[in-house]
Amino acid sequence: MNFYDEMIEDGAPRESYASYHQWFESQDPKLLKRKMVEAEAVFRRTGITFNVYGKKDADERLIPFDIIPRIISAREWNRLTRGIEQRVKAINAFLFDIYHDQELLKAGIMPQSLIANNEAFLPEMIGVTPPGKVYTHIVGVDLVRTGPDDFFVLEDNARTPSGVSYMLENRETMLQIFPELFSKNKVQIVGNYPQMLRRSLEACAPPNCDGKPVIAVLTPGIHNSAYFEHAFLADQMGAELIESHDVRIQKGKVCMRTTQGYKPIDVLYRRVDDDYLDPLNFNPKSILGIPGVMDIYRAGGITIANAPGAGIADDKAIYSYMPDIVKFYTGEKALLKNVETRRCSDADSLRYVQDNLQELVVKEVHGSGGYGMLVGPASTKAEIARFRKKLISDPDNYIAQPTLALSTTPILEKGKLSPRHVDLRPFVLVGPDEIITTPGGLTRVAMKKGSLVVNSSQGGGTKDTWVLED
């Protein structure tokens, strides 16, 4: 399989990498190695870690960071931005529709069973209109590249997309150890993301908000894999980081404990999944959520970001209808391509997938983090046989896609450039009147040679993403 290398073409650097490549060639490999050690030390001091679940040795780990930036030209980024914003508009319109008149289903674009039988669909949200009609205040759109102008959306992340703290710290680390690079290259800034996030959330405050909106970040606590990010964003936004025990309902408002007593919250940026958000409305055993918060939300007393029930847009079976969804709600052809997707709930598709498991990538419809998936070409016969049994026992839980020839960008390995597969997660902020796509986003890289799995939980790392100004 041939892979598109984003830096080198026929032995020479591509235009977007020309300036950087010239600089790299002039560097002492020993110096670059010391810079790698320095970058790791920065991450350790800052505490940029994540947890891995489901393993006996699960603990806090340092996410691998590579000092070779991924560089995207202004032309490429402008094209991507148009497609991303079109897609996010369609997702918000889709969520409003399925929780109101369900015109998409009436038009026969999608089978009703895909919504009615979907565990991510919340009947409690039927008829509820969030402030500003915004369901997905923060969206992460996972993109992969296979050629010069060939970008595909791999997944939509509309529940609680994570990783933005890595994007910000990657840039901060690069600024610290290579300040001269940013005087030689005109790179668009990403450091204003927390301020932009706060502004976007403030614009979505409920109508009864009096004065400057009060924002709080609800975290499950220190044992959550993304706790570093929760604390980081709360600090950077100037918002309070709270847990369920810090909150109570008073006089029809959700209030948090402060040194001056309990203070009403206008916007709750929650990093707690729907099922655990409110034990009175969802999982009664949850100790992570706020009892009664959904009642206040439905009454218009608080904004929850992202909206409860928004996660149905992450469903990988619904993903397969995204080109139709974009067309239905925008009247335009989708600017960004979907990966061809087979729904295993369909008998013919299931037979095809069973016969071709060794060539396909199979994912759980509600899966995330690289868990519960099979990468056929990288799997053993025994792994494929075990997965086939799971597929047969619960076909509705899976979709299958062809194995894409993901583009590569180099990492620094033993003082030399070595290609690795990458994806890209741009972060999109949605307000009532504007959509802002952060220039670049998080590049995740498969640190193992030949691997197509970039998730940090599966051994992947990250690198700084540069979007050039011109």
The per-residue pLDDT for 74 is: 96
The per-residue pLDDT for 453 is: 80
Between these two residues, 446 and 225, which has the higher pLDDT value?
A: 446
- Asked if residue 305 and residue 250 are part of one domain, the reply reads yes
- pLDDT tens column, 88-123: 999 999 999 999 999 999 999 999 999 998 999 999
- Asked if residue 207 and residue 247 are part of one domain, the reply reads yes
Asked whether 455 and 58 are in contact (CB, 8 A), the reply is: no
Could you give the CA distance from residue 452 to residue 421 in angstroms, rounded to a whole number?
6
Asked whether 61 and 462 are in contact (CB, 8 A), the reply is: no
The per-residue pLDDT for 185 is: 94
- Asked if residue 356 and residue 461 are part of one domain, the reply reads no
Q: Is residue 458 scored above 90 in pLDDT? A: no
The per-residue pLDDT for 444 is: 95
The per-residue pLDDT for 252 is: 92
- Asked if residue 258 and residue 374 are part of one domain, the reply reads no
Q: Is residue 312 scored above 70 in pLDDT? A: yes
Q: Enumerate helices (H) and strands (E) in the chain, giving the number of each.
A: 15, 25
In a domain, 3, yes or no: no
The per-residue pLDDT for 371 is: 66
In a domain, 2, yes or no: no
User: 368: pLDDT confidence band, cut at 50, 70 and 90?
Assistant: low
- Asked if residue 441 and residue 411 are part of one domain, the reply reads yes
In a domain, 351, yes or no: yes
- Asked if residue 348 and residue 460 are part of one domain, the reply reads no
Who contacts 345 (Cβ-Cβ below 8 Å, separation ≥6)?
317, 395, 396
Tally the domains of the chain: 2
In a domain, 222, yes or no: yes
Average of pLDDT values for 355-368?
87
- Asked if residue 80 and residue 141 are part of one domain, the reply reads yes
The per-residue pLDDT for 59 is: 55
Asked whether 397 and 418 are in contact (CB, 8 A), the reply is: no
Q: Is residue 60 scored above 70 in pLDDT? A: no
Q: Is residue 57 scored above 60 in pLDDT? A: no
In a domain, 438, yes or no: yes
- Asked if residue 398 and residue 411 are part of one domain, the reply reads no
- For the chain, give the mean pLDDT: 93
Q: What domain range includes position 203? A: 8-339+404-467
- Asked if residue 304 and residue 230 are part of one domain, the reply reads yes
Residue at which a domain ends, from 380, 402, 424: 402
User: 63: pLDDT confidence band, cut at 50, 70 and 90?
Assistant: confident
- pLDDT tens column, 230-285: 999 999 999 999 999 999 999 999 999 999 999 999 999 999 999 999 999 999 99
φ, ψ for residue 251 (rounded to 5)? 50, 45
Q: Model's pTM, two decimal places?
A: 0.92
- Asked if residue 241 and residue 386 are part of one domain, the reply reads no
- Asked if residue 103 and residue 31 are part of one domain, the reply reads yes
3-state secondary structure of 468: strand
- pLDDT tens column, 324-339: 999 999 999 999 999 9
Q: Nearest-CA neighbor of 393 among 356, 354, 359, 340? A: 354
Asked whether 3 and 405 are in contact (CB, 8 A), the reply is: yes
Which position has the token pair 């999608």? 110
Between these two residues, 377 and 56, which has the higher pLDDT value?
A: 377
Q: Which residues pair with 155 in a beta bridge?
A: 142
- pLDDT tens column, 163-218: 999 999 999 999 999 999 999 999 999 999 999 999 999 999 999 898 999 999 99
At 389, which CATH number? 3.30.1490.270
- Percent with pLDDT over 90 in the chain: 83
3-state secondary structure of 10: coil
Residue at which a domain ends, from 381, 402, 423: 402
The per-residue pLDDT for 386 is: 92
In a domain, 381, yes or no: yes
Could you give the CA distance from residue 466 to residue 211 in angstroms, rounded to a whole number?
37
In a domain, 1, yes or no: no
The per-residue pLDDT for 135 is: 98
For the chain, give percent helix, strand, coil, nearest 5.
35, 25, 40
Report the Cα–Cα distance between both ends of the chain, in Å, rounded.
33
- pLDDT tens column, 147-168: 999 999 999 999 989 999 999 9
Q: Is residue 56 scored above 60 in pLDDT? A: no
Average of pLDDT values for 18-33?
95
Cβ count near 72 (within 10 Å)? 22
In a domain, 217, yes or no: yes
- Asked if residue 351 and residue 228 are part of one domain, the reply reads no
Three-point CA angle 85, 130, 233, nearest 5°: 65
Residue at which a domain ends, from 379, 402, 425: 402
Could you give the CA distance from residue 155 to residue 369 in angstroms, rounded to a whole number?
11
- Which DSSP symbol is given to 83? H
